[in-house]
Structure 1
Amino acid sequence: MQLKDSFYDVFLESAGAFQDKPLLILPQRQADAWGVPIEMTYGDTLEQIQGLRRQYQAKGLRAGDRVALAFESRPEFVYHYLALNGLGVCVVPLNTDLTVSELSYQIGHARCGAVIGLEVLEKQLASAIEATGREVTLSTHGPEGLGTIWRANDIVTPQSPLQRAAAILYTSGTTGKPKGCVLTNVYLQESSAYNVRMPGHLAFAEGAERTMNPLPLYHLNAMVNTLGAAILTGSAYVMPGRFSATNWWNDIAETKTTRFKYLGIMIPALLGQPESARDRESGVTCAFGAGVDPALHERFEKRFGIPLIEVWGMTETGRILIVDREPRHIHTRACGRPQAGLQARIVNDAGEPVPDGTVGELVVRHSAENPRYGFFDSYLDDPVATEAAWEGGWFHSGDLCTRAEDGMFTFVDRKKNIVRRSGENISSAEVEAVLVECPHVKQVAVMAAPDELRDEEVLACVITTGDDVRDHALALSIFHFVQERLAYYKTPGWIYFVDELPVTGTQKVQKHRIFPNGFNPNVPHIHDLRSYKRWKK
């Protein structure tokens, strides 16, 4: 593939070739809620982007500036993202489900000069900016509302447009605060192209595919993989907003969706809908995602006639493993094989390859000659963490897997200190850091508890201070303390009061010894708080 200076240039080429084809499609219910058309062609989208680009340029935005975007998963995100990309501006997509302090951290850490977003988010964004202590300009009226752009003096902008930071996506790490993954224009193009290179039976039909993705645009999956692949192939990106099991099949029929993206949490929700004669008449040919429960995989495919193609990927890699052919081993957690442009293997703690069938860490690279090509550029302002991730010339995923003789990789467990809930990676260390500030908490260990609906749930094992009565009221008090400080999905769904935590000789908590025989929700002093976790805008 011949790389261009920016993904904006890639879009220009596709807009010329597919001018009258739809790029963005919405169900009527979502178009009405957002006050936008149900369909935007490549030509329509080009007009929007070009207009915004001229306005941003007139406001003085230039290559190297950093602008945070708060448009949720609406069409406006696409317009502003590509318009800014055309000026060499780095975008920082914000998850507005986060608290003010969490948003403030990302805006400040990325050293954003401006925040552009929806008018309904103005109060939240203004509070987040105020907490940074910087003169960051805010506009909820696009370029027209922009004031002076604040610029950090130490941001270096590479002369090559391809090597410039095009986006910074925040992903949870194991050290508490989220890490900012710096993505270049090379990454955006190579990642999009890799996700298009499917084997024949899964290949994109140029100018014809319609991919529905309910995942948020501040994630790689939607912003790069889905939108990027659509643009490269003249296809359409169907934007249904937040996942809704009750509206799912109606939305698919209305938008004439041909394929969709999923998370494991979606599958039981869809299976829980009443059976219908149209279950096998959706028109969808295949779906791509991760984390489907092996016990439900075959049941879903038999009912709906849609193969669920499991993949593995990370923001850092941009590329995926994919279960590309039969046998797909749908009764296991098989997560795929690498395609051309990605190499993968399993290693032990010393970084040495292990025999097939042995559990070890999954490591990946582009090639021996150029291992980092097309991967993320770095963790923002954290060269130590960046180099540690690339130890030995391979990117260390932190996931424990096995490899079979036929090249199939199967997921076993996570090595990193992460709770994966409904597709969100939650840092245990981040939640622990908040909990230890609670006056009722003396010591705490946060870990993952299995959850039938959401894959995993946040479990906090707490040693209390003083003589507190370890009852449900205390658990709820601790829950609300966290709820006020972190996004709703990060709050503990379970709180388990313990007398002590198992530790090593160096006082490191051994979490695997808390439930040595597996999580047990029936032990004394454990409190189920999952019903209190509710998304609120």
Structure 2
Amino acid sequence: MTDMDAYKRLREDFALAIPDDYNFAFDLIDRRAAERPDMTCLIAVNRDASEVRPVGYGEMAANSARFGNLLLSLGAAKGDKAVVMLPRIPAWFDTLFGCMKAGVVSMPGTNLLTAKDIAYRVQRSGARFAVVTQEHVEKIEQIRGDCPTLEHLILVGGTRDGWTGFEAGIAAQPASLSRDRAPSTRADDDMMIYFTSGTTSQPKMVPRDFGYALAHTITGRYWMDLREGDVHWTLTDTGWAKAAWGILFPPMLMGAAVVVYDGDAKFDTDLHLKLIQRLGVTTFCAPPTVYRLFAQTDLSGYDLTSLRHCLGAGEPLNPEVMRVWKQATGTEVHDGYGQTETINIVANLPGFEIRPGSMGRPVPGITVDVIDDDGQPVADDTIGHIAVKLDRDGGAYGLFRGYYDDEDTNARVFRHGWYYTGDTGRRDADGYIWFVGRADDIILSAGYRISPFEVESALIEHPAVAESAVIGKPDELRGEIVKAYVILAAGHRPGEALKTDIQDFVKKQTAPYKYPREIEFVDALPKTISGKIRRVELRAGEGGDGKA
């Protein structure tokens, strides 16, 4: 059987039924607790890694029931919103699963949110509840007067007047919450809301329904290759949808134990590598930056042989990093693609060829293609819009139904029977999809369409470049020229000679017309709190319109 035949068979054999009343907290957490209460759900690791504590499904079911009962005792009603800002600790899971049981819509937020960020989220959603640690108490107190809907404040890991203590609060509640006593929920009811990272505008609200959780079976099976008994570790903040992918739904659906390390903001390479060895991590997911840090380390001093499947997302890894990692672990890094608005929709599937630089092929159950403005597939190796076919009751597995209270944006992204992701890419003759960039970031120079992402990928290969951002700068002759903002690596000084060397290097790494005609050395780049570069600010600074 050829590779293409095997891929087609995989898609043809796919089947996934989502019950009308699916609720992850009841149907997976409680069911597994009833069947195998001692089965490890989480492996909680404290800040200095001096304590490692397994958490079983029985404990998770009980604590989430207690928190659900606490919410109901405070008057929570189905559909109420709760801001949740907690680090990577078991209480985050107790809170989210308890919200699911009580019918409360949780809104996870990164721990980097400012008081202004929190106020925006509360005001936009009408949230009634906030669940935070001591780190965020003063931020909440600062905005309370401007957020009249915020009635109930719950503090994890402490006590304060006017707040409900999480630990004391759940201790006083029953350790069970039967489904017939909880608000009735359906698979198409809102379960969570994520806020996008706001690279070009104010963050948008992305509601995720209960069916979204079960749809992550696709993520867990066809990208993450998770199996029962695996020890899985995804490096992510709890405030982003990547946490739903990596430490919430797919691992538990597939029966893997999730590593939850409450690490310091400053990344400790040695400690992370030692934890992979100590915990026997079998499947691992990290951003490309982390793999680059690992590749700069002498990996011969670590036993990483427990790893059998590794994952990356966000940008392709350069060949040297891939080579170093495979030499140390025997594993390749499987790139994948998806958004806050989707589950994993494109992946380098386990057991199939990895084409370095490609996101892979559409996963079973979901139709993804590269199309034009009219919804028609473009020719192979032609840049177009990456889009998801609305072929399942007007939607697709794990696809959101639209941004909250934003009909103008919804009309732009849902058209011609497709969901337009806002990203551009190209498809090769074998169906592999290659990311080009955000549709708004494409540079049009002298008739060429240039991906900032591709230029940045070439720049990062230069030893003097630590980080870069590329935009199109208005130009009277060419329409736009490629301009790069470059942060230099340690030991390198800015200068005209270095600019020329970097430009010549990029000409050799990619098509010569893509090289940056201008390079500006900078100390920092404008970013969202999730770390995504705000090219819109850079364009505005160059006389561009700065529009999304």
TM range (shorter): 0.7 to 0.9
8 A Cα contact 1:240 1:251, kept in partner: no
> Against the structure 1 CA distance between its residues 511 and 101, is the aligned structure 2 distance closer, same or farther, given a 3 Å change threshold?
farther
- SS, match of residue 284 in structure 1: coil
- SS, match of residue 13 in structure 1: helix
Alignment match, 1:161 = 186
Alignment match, 1:297 = 322
> Against the structure 1 CA distance between its residues 369 and 169, is the aligned structure 2 distance closer, same or farther, given a 3 Å change threshold?
closer
Between the aligned partners of 1:416 and 1:136, the Cα distance in structure 2 is 40
1:528 aligned onto 2:530:
no
Give the AA of the match of 1:396.
Answer: Y
8 A Cα contact 1:366 1:373, kept in partner: no
Give the AA of the match of 1:97.
Answer: L
Q: Summarize deviations over 1:81-115 as a string: whole Å, max 9, x none.
A: 00111011100111121222122112211221121
Give the AA of the match of 1:91.
Answer: S
Aligned equivalent of 1:351, options 358, 371, 375: 375
Displacement of 1:277: 4.4
Alignment match, 2:398 = 374
8 A Cα contact 1:6 1:185, kept in partner: yes
Give the AA of the match of 1:327.
Answer: E
> Against the structure 1 CA distance between its residues 459 and 100, is the aligned structure 2 distance closer, same or farther, given a 3 Å change threshold?
farther
8 A Cα contact 1:211 1:260, kept in partner: yes
Displacement of 1:337: 1.2
Alignment match, 2:175 = none
Q: Summarize deviations over 1:308-330 as a string: whole Å, max 9, x none.
A: 11101111112321111432112
Alignment match, 1:7 = 24
Aligned equivalent of 1:284, options 307, 317, 334: 307
Q: Summarize deviations over 1:16-40 as a string: whole Å, max 9, x none.
A: 23311111113354565xxx86211
1:20 aligned onto 2:45:
no
> Against the structure 1 CA distance between its residues 530 and 414, is the aligned structure 2 distance closer, same or farther, given a 3 Å change threshold?
closer
Between the aligned partners of 2:415 and 2:210, the Cα distance in structure 1 is 24
Displacement of 1:160: 5.4
8 A Cα contact 2:106 2:191, kept in partner: yes
Between the aligned partners of 1:76 and 1:183, the Cα distance in structure 2 is 21
Greater CA drift, 20-29 or 134-143? 134-143
Alignment match, 1:98 = 113
Alignment match, 1:179 = 204
> Against the structure 1 CA distance between its residues 172 and 350, is the aligned structure 2 distance closer, same or farther, given a 3 Å change threshold?
farther
1:232 aligned onto 2:247:
no
Q: Percent identical across equivalent pairs? A: 20
Alignment match, 1:49 = 64
Alignment match, 1:477 = none
Between the aligned partners of 1:230 and 1:15, the Cα distance in structure 2 is 16
Gaps of 5+ in 1: 148-157, 419-447, 462-500
Aligned equivalent of 1:205, options 220, 224, 227: 227
Between the aligned partners of 1:77 and 1:456, the Cα distance in structure 2 is 33
Displacement of 1:236: 0.7
Aligned equivalent of 1:107, options 95, 100, 122: 122
- SS, match of residue 208 in structure 2: strand
Alignment match, 2:133 = 118
> Against the structure 1 CA distance between its residues 248 and 174, is the aligned structure 2 distance closer, same or farther, given a 3 Å change threshold?
closer
Between the aligned partners of 2:527 and 2:23, the Cα distance in structure 1 is 44
1:389 aligned onto 2:410:
no
Matches within 5 A, 1:350-499: 350-365=374-389, 367=391, 370-417=394-441, 452=460, 457=468
Alignment match, 1:329 = 355
> Against the structure 1 CA distance between its residues 355 and 417, is the aligned structure 2 distance closer, same or farther, given a 3 Å change threshold?
closer
Greater CA drift, 39-48 or 371-380? 371-380
Displacement of 1:240: 2.2
Alignment match, 1:340 = 364
8 A Cα contact 1:267 1:292, kept in partner: no
Q: Summarize deviations over 1:431-490 as a string: whole Å, max 9, x none.
A: xxxxxxxxxxxxxxxxx96673999656899xxxxxxxxxxxxxxxxxxxxxxxxxxxxx
Between the aligned partners of 1:26 and 1:503, the Cα distance in structure 2 is 54
Between the aligned partners of 1:294 and 1:177, the Cα distance in structure 2 is 32
Q: Summarize deviations over 1:38-73 as a string: whole Å, max 9, x none.
A: 211111212211222222221111211101101122
- SS, match of residue 309 in structure 1: strand
> Against the structure 1 CA distance between its residues 318 and 85, is the aligned structure 2 distance closer, same or farther, given a 3 Å change threshold?
same
Alignment match, 2:449 = none
8 A Cα contact 2:126 2:150, kept in partner: no
What TM-score results when the alignment is normalised by the length of structure 2? 0.72
Displacement of 1:343: 0.2
Give the AA of the match of 1:7.
Answer: F
Alignment match, 2:450 = none
> Against the structure 1 CA distance between its residues 458 and 92, is the aligned structure 2 distance closer, same or farther, given a 3 Å change threshold?
farther
Displacement of 1:264: 1.1
Give the AA of the match of 1:72.
Answer: P
Between the aligned partners of 1:381 and 1:533, the Cα distance in structure 2 is 23
Give the AA of the match of 1:271.
Answer: A
> Against the structure 1 CA distance between its residues 400 and 135, is the aligned structure 2 distance closer, same or farther, given a 3 Å change threshold?
closer
- SS, match of residue 315 in structure 1: coil
Displacement of 1:250: 0.8
Gaps of 5+ in 2: 1-16, 166-182, 443-454, 485-512, 531-548
